[in-house]
A and B are shown apart, each in its own frame.
Chain A
């Protein structure tokens, strides 16, 4: 028992153990809810929900579904707008991450405390915020094109042996390595 508590309190697990846990979660998602894990799609669902409330005409398109004048969905879109299963999952992810940090005693409000980031971009928090904001737009846009993100396409698609997942992973690592090469230059 004390051994288990000691393991849980560790800040960093072996990636194999944490990965196995995620694999089990992926299986349970299909077994219990017939759903796939995903993160990026929930932002789109939320954006679609807000968009449909604010500008129903603009958001009545093939991506979010075409709705009639009474607001009923006539043609379902690529993404379902509203509070969907992945949105709830994402709420859980937030608390799960928090729980992980609390269990290892590393829970802290941080603005920019990554030593490696500071070496490369400088210590100013605003730089971190600007790059994070722009980068997140790139991430979400790309996930929209590809049909998922690291979790929704690479892991969830990969575990069903979808070719899309492996094409995505190849692209992701290719350009990721190139970007790191440009950012880090000689320090690569």
Chain B
């Protein structure tokens, strides 16, 4: 029987009303830069310019920090937890009401499929505000330690892979605990943060409580180095995380870092293979593999390796790569030209080092940045594609014979963010979960997130947790940690 073709099912862009250019959101209003320049945010799927945004200068960062300090010393610092919570509830509600607008904008600016921005990014962002709203007047029950109180002004720098969701992970706990914020979205995905500024205005959040400064590395560095920032929260690469840790060495600034990963997704021979294959696909091809906790190393037990490989490739052949706004799209655009080059370089290295390369051969659009879902087999532990974070839709397949070997291989990385286990044997799941040096272990599932569930890494995947009461701890000082 002939296959039915999918008809295009694009989500309408009409819901998004973009301005041609955006200033910086400081002290509750959009302002022009002092000495900063402008840069363009493009759609990675079409290379079309979406809007012009401002590259904040150190003077702009200084203004933002001053506004945040005034708000901390003023209305926000004096406000009851109950009222802080009510602002967060308002923000959560507005996010839900404007969910479609945010989802379309996020897919436009980031390149991720609308199915994911609609069903994952935006609902989870709203959920984070709801969850933390409830904490704001209950902090004394969170077990944070004697004399827990907010740091003051928090500087936050977030990545481009989940722009709005990472913003929510950062801002919600900071505000719930009574801090004020200066946040910088990533330079390739600033637009949802700027739309979020409108949400803050709609919610009547007092001026200066959240300040949003757009820009690239130098703007981030200006935040990190600013003397009146008390605490930093960063999500991004391990390389930049180390730079931040060095920048604040010898100061009294606190930091939490959520960094890279090279997660092992481990498939035992008794796993339900079809479910495991779905888990593998979700693990590495979700969000084009632009996920710090992606299951980028598949460790499959030798006895079922051929069968898993066969079924995996059959499944990957059905993945639809293309227009992020099409509701049938499974894999969207690579976020930027720079990231595409990085993926291309590492996959070339994989071939050069002797791994066997396969991709699903699907057609790719002419314009924009694209990469076919790719699988490397015959990968050894020393290959760069088994060691370095690719941050793209590329899976490296290794095999193992015994649970001990699986553990040794899974832990053989400087990272320690996440891991996956697929087996029907409960005692093996629990034993493996104990042995894996990773902050999040998904057993018979993968890439699940929830505001109540602490997320963060071991080793060079960073320190501190986001989500749950553990995430609150990152935003307070206590008598013994001041």
**A and B from one complex:** no
